[in-house]
Amino acid sequence: MSYFQRDRERHPPALTPAYKTSILRAPRHALLSLPTTLSEETGPVFGHDMIGPLDNDLIRNFAKDGGEAIGQRIVVSGRVLDEARRPVRGALVEFWQANAGGRYRHRKESYLAALDPNFGGCGRCITDDEGGYAFRTVKPGAYPWPNGVNDWRPAHIHFSVFGHAFAQRLVTQMYFEGDPMIWQCPIVRTIPDASAIEQLVALLDRRATIPMDALAYRFDIVLRGRRATMFENRPEGNG
């Protein structure tokens, strides 16, 4: 098992004052590298048998009997790849998002957009032999958030990918091709490299659309190397 340092050329600095909460969260002292222990590297991660049949269907996995979430129906799919573009098999991919109106189902949510009684907003799946994952959902809405006076997040889906140990968890966000809200977002703008931002933008995937049913978006997640997806949380010393 290999652990990799964060690529500081590519990832945003911890302190980005235009993203207000980074001021409190950013370390104020020099970072320390802590050696990993055998238990972190070899301990159990998750059970592959815990995935339920609707876990990758956000349109139905929270819905009441016969109900479905309201919104633009989409399929999101892609592959998890390593730096040599080899598939990463058996990885737990989790995703969570606001509903079609931009509202999260969370007790601290403060946006006035309505909750959808049939939409929970999270799901998960395990990558197949080709590193592939896919899930069905509704396109999330943009939402305002308490940062500046009037800041809005672009439509986005949060992603987490687990590796072979709990210390290997990567978190990022996916955006949607053609959304003018992407480039004005204070969180997106913490990423200094425009090409890294573009790799977070899922492309409309006409071939994967389902006629009279769902649009489709394609989002590949590359763990390391020149084509690596920008991860928010790549922890010091872990890859």
Residue from 105, 158, 164, 218 carrying the catalytic annotation: 158
Q: What are phi and psi of 168, to 5 degrees?
A: -100, 80
Which amino acid would we find at residue 114? A
Helix, coil or strand: residue 221: strand
CB-based contacts of 185: which residues, under 8 Å, 6+ apart?
Answer: 151, 152, 153, 154
Question: Is 158 part of the annotated catalytic residue set?
Answer: yes
Among 136, 156, 169, 234, the active-site one is 156
Active-site annotation holds for 153: yes
- Amino acid residing at 147: N
Q: Tell me, what amino acid is at 194?
A: A
In the chain, the amino acid numbered 201 is V
State phi, psi for 218 to the nearest 5 degrees.
-115, 130
143 counts as catalytic = yes
**Which 3 state secondary structure label does DSSP give 183?**
helix
From CA 211, how far away is CA 205, in angstroms rounded?
13
Choosing from 11, 73, 103, 104, the catalytic residue is 104
Which uninterrupted H or E stretch holds 98?
A: none
Choice among 153, 169, 175, 217 that is catalytic: 153
Among the options 133, 143, 175, 217, which is catalytic? 143
| Residue 27 CA to its chain's centroid (Å) | 23
Catalytic residue list: 104, 143, 153, 156, 158
